[in-house]
Each structure stands twice: as C-alpha cells, then as structure tokens.
Amino acid sequence: MNAPLRIGLAGLGTVGSALAGLIQRHGNELAIRTGRPIAISGIAARDRAKTRPVDLSAARWFDDPVALARDPGNDVFVELIGGAEGPANESVRAAIDAGKHVVTANKALLSRHGVALARAAEGKGVSLNFEAAVAGGIPVIKTLREALAGNTINRVYGILNGTCNYILTRMQEEDLSFAECLAAAQKLGYAEADPTFDVEGFDAAHKLSLLTAIAFGTEVDADAIYVEGISRITPADFEAADELGYRIKLLGVASRTESGIEQRVHPTMVPKSSAIARIDGVTNAVAVDADFAGQLVLSGAGAGGAATASSVMSDIADIARGDRVGTFGRPASHLEPYRQAEIRAHEGGYYIRLAVYDRPGAFAAIARRMADKAISLESIVQRRRAPRANAPGHPVMAEPQPVIMITYETTETAIREALEAIKADGHVAGDPQMIRIEQFG
C-alpha cells in the first residue's frame, strides 16, 4: 500500500473533532477506498488542555496554525478555524506557498479570497477543495464541479441556511412570531447570540457566491448579491401564504440572464407542491437547472459536526486518490469576470401586504399608483380588524386594515416605485411588506 497521507488539522471545534473521530473510526475502510492510509500528523487549536472525545496523542501539537501549515510533516492542510481574515487566511496561504493541498470549510474566506487562493493553488499544482463550505453534508460542490461537467447550468437555487429555515418552519407550523422562534433557535444552539449573519441573509449569500462561480464559471463576487433577511416576516404573511397555496422560504437564487448573472438572497413564496417547499427544519436543499440533466434537487443536513466532517473527508479522499479538479470546476485563469444583472430588472409575481387607513379614496389611490407602473393585480384581499376600544368617553379608533395584493409578473423596479408612491400618499401605516413569488417546480 502507498505511504500514508498526512493531515495537518487546524481547528478542533465541533467539525474538527468529528473529522478526527471519523478518520479513527473508518481508517481501515478509507485506506482500502483511497489506496493509502490517512492519518492526522499535526494539530493546531486554541486550547491544548481541553478534553476531547477522540485520542489525538499521536499527533504533534502546534500553537500556531501557520507553523502547522508550513510543517513538512504533513501533506494536506485542513483549515477549520473560520473567518475571512486572520489565522485562517494566513495559514491557508502559507500551506499553498509550501506546496501543500488545502481542504477548508470556510465559506467566508473563499467568498472573499477564493479566486486569489485558487490561482495560487493552481500555480503550485495543489488542490484547494471546499465541499464542506456550502450546505454541510450535501455533496453539491462535487455535483456541480464534476457530475454536471457536461451541462450548461441555467439556474441554481436553494435553502442555504438551516437557522433561517428552522425559524420559518416554526413560524409557519406553530403561528409564532419571529422573535419567539429566534429565541428557540438560540436555545437549541442553531443561532448565535448575535444572529445577524444568519437571519439577515449574509451566510446564505457567501454560500451562493461560491455556487455561482462554479455553476457559471465566473469569478466570486459576494458583494454583488442582493441580500434581504427574514426579520420582517410576520405570522400574517404566513397566514396569507397558506391561503394562497404557498410557503415562505429564505432562498439564495443565481440565474443566467442576457444581461449577466443575477444573484439574490431573500424571503420567497414558493408553491406548496414544489420540492423546495417541503424542506423543513434545519435541513438545507440545493436545486440545479441543467440543460441535459434537467432539474436536480439535493437535500440533507446543512450543518453539524458529523455531516460537515463527512464533506471534509470527501475532499481529503479525492486528494488521497490523486483526483484533482480546478477549484471552481475549471482553471482559475478561465474564470470570467463577474457581470452583474440588474436586480431591479428581475421579473416575477409579488406578494404585497399594506396596512391601509379605512377612508374614502385610499383604495382608488393605491390602484392608481399600481396602474401608473403598469402593474396588473391577480388578487386583492382585505382583512377587517375589529375597531379598537379607547377609554370611556373617547371615540372608537379605526385601525389600519390589512390589505394583501398578488401581482401578475412585473419588474421589481415597478413594484418598488409604486410602493414608494403609495407610502408617500399617506394612505398606509408603516412600511409595505413585499415578498417575491417564484413558481419553482
């Protein structure tokens, strides 16, 4: 049998510990499948004294991950530290400079520096693999980069953040508020103490930027993604969605258009009959529309130590076998400059919820503003609230009435301009709610 593949592992959190356990548990089978033993030869982590569920006494300890990355005693550097800058970035660059293969689960690093790192790896003749950076245990990178190499991809979309999907699922099924479901997610460890990165869509955007680069052969540009989170979604929106035959999901969508690549992350109403609508809880799903293979939907655990370690191991196994593919499915020198499509030119149907003051002329003014932008309405639903009783001797106050409108296909520019005009007219309270409708199969 060939010489062992020696792993330098930086980061012993949930994923790093799970990876070490996987290698120990399945070591014999991995050696048979890859043609060589796989062993952890060096480790870098913050706390050497911490008790861990695996025996790592045979590995050398490094206090500095950059020193581990440069150490000649390992062949592959596995970065599980996290973060776009600092030790993660420095150690990955050091490993590539030292001529070592790199495996990472770091979506933030790759969304910011992925193209430069890919070029550096290509120049050194080493692999830069990142299956675990998107959708946890789902093999979506390998599917796009290898299994669909003979296809032109027209669209890739999916549920890319388990925290948001858990919150939206509970809001839908239990008629709870966003705040209540977020608190539950934090208690279960699905959401951080500061959940902004997840619930405002930035985590999903980083992942989408990597899928876009592979699917369309473009350079990574996370800053070009339109991002909108889920914090403004209310139980009223779920009630309306249910009555109209939809479910609400936070989706990342990347599409090939005539004017460029469109990338967007936002809450979306999808038909209840669609495959993506049935993905609940912390599960992730990615759908791909390809010209020859048709539509593929992959779903599974989007996070967690075991699932993510499984994806990291698949990258290590490729290196052990000598399989090498361009970081983004092609040589870095062949990645096209990213050409952004105008998000406000996006066409589709829209759900709009307004709190309209019940007074003469209000509905006529709203309809006129819609007509001014050539927006056709498929349906209008008004839900009457009971008047609010005030203190004795004071008149009963009329509250703004919820009005829900569904539009036929129109542009986002038209919708936003119409809503700005409606708000300026003074017939509505608060900000209008707008959710895009996608007719996914």
pLDDT the model gives residue 385: 60
Determine, yes or no, domain membership for 341.
no
pLDDT the model gives residue 1: 60
- What is the tens place of the pLDDT at every residue in 75-91? 999 999 999 999 999 99
Question: Where residue 362 sits, what CATH number does that domain have?
Answer: 3.30.70.260
pLDDT of 38 above 80: yes
Determine, yes or no, domain membership for 94.
yes
Determine, yes or no, domain membership for 317.
no
pLDDT the model gives residue 381: 83
Question: Where residue 227 sits, what CATH number does that domain have?
Answer: 3.30.360.10
Question: Where residue 67 sits, what CATH number does that domain have?
Answer: 3.40.50.720
pLDDT the model gives residue 350: 95
Q: Which residue has the higher pLDDT, 399 or 415?
A: 415
pLDDT of 384 above 80: no
Same domain, 149 and 283: yes
Q: Give percent above pLDDT 70 in the chain.
A: 95
pLDDT of 344 above 90: no
pLDDT the model gives residue 55: 86
3-state secondary structure the chain: CCCCEEEEEECCCHHHHHHHHHHHHCHHHHHHHHCCCEEEEEEECCCCCCCCCCCCCCCEEECCHHHHHHCCCCCEEEECCCCCCHHHHHHHHHHHHCCCEEEECCHHHHHHHHHHHHHHHHHHCCCEECHHHCCCCCCHHHHHHHHCCCCCEEEEEEECCHHHHHHHHHHHHHCCCHHHHHHHHHHCCCCCCCCHHHHCCHHHHHHHHHHHHHHHCECCCHHHCEECCCCCCCHHHHHHHHHHCEEEEEEEEEEEECCEEEEEEEEEEEECCCCHHHCCCCEEEEEEEECCCEEEEEEEECCCHHHHHHHHHHHHHHHHHCCCCCCCCCCHHHCECCCECCHHHCEEEEEEEEEECCCCCHHHHHHHHHHHCCCCEEEEEECCCCCECCCCCCCCECCCEEEEEEECCEEHHHHHHHHHHHHHHCCEEEEEEEEEECCCC
pLDDT of 205 above 70: yes
pLDDT the model gives residue 215: 97
Average pLDDT of the segment spanning 351-367: 91
Asked about 207 being catalytic, the answer comes back as yes
**pTM for this predicted structure:** 0.92
Q: Which of 100, 107, 207, 249 is catalytic?
A: 207
What is the domain range of residue 49?
5-133
pLDDT of 382 above 90: no
Determine, yes or no, domain membership for 261.
yes
Same domain, 365 and 391: yes
Quickly state the pLDDT bin for 391 (edges 50, 70, 90): low
pLDDT the model gives residue 345: 64
Determine, yes or no, domain membership for 312.
no
Quickly state the pLDDT bin for 348 (edges 50, 70, 90): confident
pLDDT the model gives residue 75: 97
Same domain, 227 and 287: yes
User: Where among 133, 168, 187 does a domain terminate?
Assistant: 133
Same domain, 14 and 126: yes
- What is the tens place of the pLDDT at every residue in 93-134? 999 999 999 999 999 999 999 999 999 999 999 999 999 999
Q: Please count the structural domains in the chain.
A: 3
- What is the tens place of the pLDDT at every residue in 237-271? 999 999 999 999 999 999 998 889 999 999 999 99
Q: Which residue has the higher pLDDT, 222 or 385?
A: 222
- What is the tens place of the pLDDT at every residue in 16-33? 999 999 999 999 999 999
Determine, yes or no, domain membership for 32.
yes
pLDDT of 200 above 60: yes
Same domain, 24 and 113: yes
Determine, yes or no, domain membership for 333.
no
pLDDT the model gives residue 93: 98
Quickly state the pLDDT bin for 2 (edges 50, 70, 90): confident
Same domain, 39 and 124: yes
Same domain, 289 and 149: yes
User: Where among 277, 301, 325 does a domain terminate?
Assistant: 301
User: Where among 133, 156, 189 does a domain terminate?
Assistant: 133
Same domain, 101 and 185: no
pLDDT of 284 above 60: yes
Same domain, 128 and 170: no
Q: Which of 35-39, 281-285, 346-350 has the lowest mean pLDDT?
A: 346-350
